[in-house]
Amino acid sequence: QYSSQDPFIQEISQIYTTLGYHPEYDHSTGISDANPLVGAGIHMVNLSDSGENAHSVDERISIENLSTLASLVGKMINGLTKN
């Protein structure tokens, strides 16, 4: 779990803010592909796509949300690799 004041989280938050979003911080537990990476000391965040019926045969996401998420991930990669 990271503090909202962690430099990595602050950097991600700045990217969100620049794109006009308001970051929300939440802590949850569970199984994620990110867990082994976090265990190895690699900073990770999980992003929500605001989809419906996650992990079911009826799972869905809007094209608009998918496009927004793709744009956000691209900006995060570009922003984080400049440092």
pLDDT at 29: 72
Distance CA 13, CA 11 (A): 5
Output the pLDDT for position 30.
72
What is the value of pTM for the model shown? 0.64
Q: Hunting for tokens 């969100």 — which residue is that?
A: 16
> Per-residue confidence of the chain (83 residues) as pLDDT tens digits?
678 888 888 888 888 888 888 888 777 777 778 888 888 988 888 777 778 888 899 999 889 888 888 888 888 888 776 65
> Is there a contact between 4 and 17 (Cβ–Cβ < 8 Å)?
no
Half-sphere exposure of 73 (CA within 13 A, CB side): 12
> How many helices and strands, by DSSP H and E, does the chain display?
3, 0
